[in-house]
Amino acid sequence: MQSILSDAFAHRYGVGAFNVVDGLTMEAVLSAAGETRSPVIVQVSVKTVKQMGARLLRLMFEELASRVAAPAALHLDHCPDRSLIAACVEAGWDSVLFDASALSYEDNLAQTREVVALAHAHGVAVEGELESIRGVEDGMGSEAESPVVPLDSALRFLRETGIDSFAPAIGTAHGLYQGEPRINFERVSEIVAAEPVPLVVHGGTGLRDEALRELIARGAVKVNISTQLKITMADAYRTYLNERPSEYDPMKLFAAVKGEVRAMTAAYMHRLGSAGRAN
């Protein structure tokens, strides 16, 4: 994870972090990475980890990633539960987002520091978060706008926790945008200028190319894509079955869905600039 993010940050290209929901979508995302020679982050929400188990997901990831000639990392998305973080660290995951945004600033800082100590002792990267990202995703988060922490407090959080990447509130949101989001590009630049750490864009689905390019150029290089994968997957199942009312071969169904998810992912890899960056 650290080498994927530091290369992207140094050369200012975006790396997609795609939220997968099962083995099929994990395989589709990884094969898109192989096809486009793109570094990739395979991301899983707490809800899916609770359903499938940290160890099963890790074993599946290792097998599927080994078939692909591109750097890949397995990352746990928004997790406030430290026991689940410990389970993922134990199972050999590459990275976790400790989401203590519901806690006070001081409690968040103190607990994030402890999570970093545990994770780094196992070579696992940590993404940190101070303000909750607007929008509900897989039962996490809230529709309410959370107050933005002043710059000096955000910088103190970065310095004192030692996190590997940081997800600040910059006006992006989970789910689908109603209208054009007002993105605080300046905040990305201010943070990166003072503490050069890769920043994370939550709510990458629906952002225009110009906004993505601007965010990436300023140092927000990890771009999370969750909603679009769900839409592409559900539409692919729906379309395939509706068009073939007497087809019952699951392998053909899965192949069709996998093809759609792979194409959607590969298109993002070109848009973000990670295509061709695998060496």
Active site residues: 77
Is 123:139 a contact under the CB 8 Å cutoff? no
Task: Return the residue of 58, 75, 187, 202 that touches Zn ion, per CB under 5 A.
Answer: 202
Question: Smallest gap, in angstroms, from Cβ of residue 5 to Zn ion?
Answer: 16
* Helix 82-90, helix 54-66: angle, nearest 10: 40
Is residue 277 a contact residue for Zn ion (CB under 5 A)? no
Closest to Zn ion by CB, 147 or 276 = 147
Burial class (CB in 10 A: 0-12, 13-18, 19+), 150: exposed
At 77, phi and psi to the nearest 5?
-80, 165
Taking the C-alpha atoms of residue 251 and residue 158, their distance in angstroms, rounded to an integer, is: 47
The stretch near Zn ion (CB under 5 A) out of 33-41, 125-133, 147-155, 178-186 is: 125-133
Closest to Zn ion by CB, 38 or 224 = 224
Question: Smallest gap, in angstroms, from Cβ of residue 257 to Zn ion?
Answer: 24
Taking the C-alpha atoms of residue 263 and residue 35, their distance in angstroms, rounded to an integer, is: 10
Site size toward Zn ion (CB under 5 A) is 2
One-letter amino acid for residue 210 of the chain: E
Contacts (CB under 5 A) with Zn ion, residues 70-109: none
- Scan for tokens 């290209």, then name that residue: 13
The stretch near Zn ion (CB under 5 A) out of 11-19, 65-73, 121-129, 198-206 is: 198-206
Contacts (CB under 5 A) with Zn ion, residues 10-69: none
At 272, phi and psi to the nearest 5?
-80, -20
Question: Smallest gap, in angstroms, from Cβ of residue 136 to Zn ion?
Answer: 10
Is 76:88 a contact under the CB 8 Å cutoff? yes
Question: Smallest gap, in angstroms, from Cβ of residue 205 to Zn ion?
Answer: 11
- Residue whose C-beta lies closest to Zn ion: 202
Site track for Zn ion across 147-166, x = CB under 5 A: --------------------
The stretch near Zn ion (CB under 5 A) out of 5-13, 127-135, 150-158, 264-272 is: 127-135
The stretch near Zn ion (CB under 5 A) out of 12-20, 103-111, 128-136, 246-254 is: 128-136
For residues 186-204, one letter each, b for 16 or more C-beta atoms within 10 angstroms of the residue's C-beta and e for the rest, the string is ebbbbbbeeeebbbbbbbb
Taking the C-alpha atoms of residue 152 and residue 150, their distance in angstroms, rounded to an integer, is: 6
Question: Smallest gap, in angstroms, from Cβ of residue 267 to Zn ion?
Answer: 21
Taking the C-alpha atoms of residue 58 and residue 104, their distance in angstroms, rounded to an integer, is: 32
Closest to Zn ion by CB, 240 or 268 = 268
Residues near Zn ion (CB under 5 A): 133, 202
